[in-house]
Structure 1
Amino acid sequence: MTVSDRWLLPDGVEDLLPPTALRIEALRRELLDSWQRWGYQLISPPMIEYLESLLTGTGNDLDLQTFKLTDQLTGRLMGVRADMTPQAARIDAHGLQSKGVTRLCYAGHVLHTRPLSLTGGRAPLQVGCELFGSSALAADEEIVVLMLEALAVAGVARVHLDLAHVVIYQELVAAAGLSDKKQKAVFDAVRRKSVPELHELLGNQPAGSAGAQLLALAPLVGGREVLAQASEILGTASERIKKALGDLEYVADRVSARFPDVSLGFDFCELRGYNYHTGLVFAAFGAGGEQALAQGGRYDAIGEDFGRGRPATGFSADLRRLTLLADSSDVVDHRAIYAPAVDDPDLQRRVSELRRCETVIQALPDEDSHRARSQCDRQLVQRDGKWHIEALNAQ
């Protein structure tokens, strides 16, 4: 690296500059304050942990996204967190060990080995909420509501919510009696929504069989109308599948009642996070967006590896994406008071007093006063031996 390119940052990593950094920080504070009013307590886990803790119950996808390094003190393999959800599960299971329901929230950077999309970064600022200790459907509803309210606070317009339930796919694959090799091939085809490939793998299936039901569900994506179609296709399915369909309908009804402007969609073979999700999963999209702005779901099994299995559900989002999507303009906040570069004890006392609740920019002796004034809408002017606030354009 030469002197001329030492300023370069790695691909997918960028600085947060004014005024974007301030907008992101303001939204972070607003969201955390809002979640605190719901009873969610703030946690701040470390950036690095032993690898087995970070990857507990999360499957191969998170493993590939995690930067790995060797701990020079112990020789053990460590990882830089790529997701804060496993850390929250560890804190609930081992750190807090509270009885009953525990509500946690967080905001912090995570690091990915590769971006999630062509336009995405590798150092998201992850925010989210996790609810432990309740298997009630009302807990899933609470998390979905919090997620949609967070998007509203961020100013995201025209939100679309996708709902799915991993139990439907799990039950159908188990009932189809496929070999391990074929299960992996079917999983890959369903995840890519490759219906022709799925037909090649499953072949001719008897009507009403689990294989035939899976083939019929794979292309079924849409609004409320597909929920009724899925219920008809799965009429002979297990009670767990019927309960999953009921859960989807219940949450959809509740969300529609509280957020009538949010459009709803259903995908009965959504396999995002399949390795650790155990129930309802959901994702929210903005207008014209292909990548989810926020997503989450139920993950009841992760805590078992920490010695305390607990029902759990939660969501997370990238605060940087939310802020930039909601407002990409570089509008400078001019609500500040200009103070001249004058060595006057009365002026310094007045500046200190004002800074308790106002922004005051005092010019330095060698500073361009015109540039300092351009950041302000008012100024301190000495009249009759006292310093008064006046509009900056006042003469």
Structure 2
Amino acid sequence: MSAVTTARPRSRGRAALGWVGLIVGLLLVSLVGGLFVYGGYTQRALLDPDSAGPDGTRAVVRVLEQQGVRVIVARDRAAAERALAGGEATLALRDAPMLSDDALRELSSRARHVVLVEPRSRALDVLMNGSSLGGFADDAAVADCTLPAADNARTARVGELLVAGDGVTGCFPRDGEFGLLSLDADGRSVTALDGLSTLTNSTLPRDGNAALALGVLGQTDTLVWYVPAPTDADPGSAPPTLSDLTPPWVTPAIVLLLLSALTAAIWRGRRFGPLVTERLPVTVRATETTEGRARLYAAARDAPHALDELRRASRARLVRLLGLATRTSPPDIADAVADRLGTDRSRVRGILVDDLPRTDRDLVAAADRLRDLEESVRVAVRTEGTPR
């Protein structure tokens, strides 16, 4: 009774340790996943000034800082407005679909120079007198204009082409479209170019991209790089989120389903004590199962497999007769049998290992040789054990 009562607490303790290990493992996986998602290895968005990836723009920011330009990264509209309070800075503006046309004009009016690094049709239409998107240029283009930044670069791989609106100057022409647009009005300017083809870490070293980037972004002592945030939309104009469109009963239903799944997992995953062995109602001899498999192979006309089953059973009996280790290899068993009988090793190896039957007749003959060999070993062992 004492042994039983001692075993139960031990099994319960092992089960508790298993659950603790599972919980610790899940926590570790969650922690590592959180580090990858929210830590330093997070893949930032395209044209992000803090990203060192191929599509980031950290390289051009570092070069500008070495040239004495103060770069301020504003990750929301409020921060960008505070940085532009003096009205003498350059604004690098990515596509901001959450801003209304009036908000786009109001934010741009705070800067002396605006650079559209990810121009889209709406921003071009609002800020550059009806300009629009055009085609695409795969190779380098020549500046062919008087704009200082473009003239210094001479050639650049401009990528996406733009269609100039009224009063807009175009540079890097290609079939009536341009790789760079510039609009000057009242001492302020708006410039548009494809930043993915000229400003990123991977494209900056190509042709005159670096000179073009420095000339466009380094026009003032301060550069405000605005990274739009989803919360920058005007009050009442933000598109509905998923939570706004979801009925109120969906979240409680999901929580209930998760709790039900967790409860079912714990319920079905319980261990009611240690595993026990169950006595079978019928004991089948190993020889019967071996012969049964051999008959199946014979019925399928697979003589090699049938003989292999017979050889396996015969070798097991020979190992016991000769007192060999259970893991003795078939060639070693054949050598031991040849030594005991004093016969040719190659002949014994052929019977126990090498010979391959091709027909049922060959299979019957090989089975007879196995039986005779086994009987000879049995007689030899019995004779050696008989006192003289």
Fold-level match, TM-score > 0.5? no
**Which structure has the bigger radius of gyration?**
2
User: Highest relative contact order (Cα 8 Å, sep 6+), 1 or 2?
Assistant: 1
Q: Normalized per residue, which structure has more helix?
A: 2
Report the TM-score, using the length of structure 2 for normalisation. 0.22
Q: TM-score scaled to structure 1, two decimals?
A: 0.22
Structure number with the higher strand fraction is 1
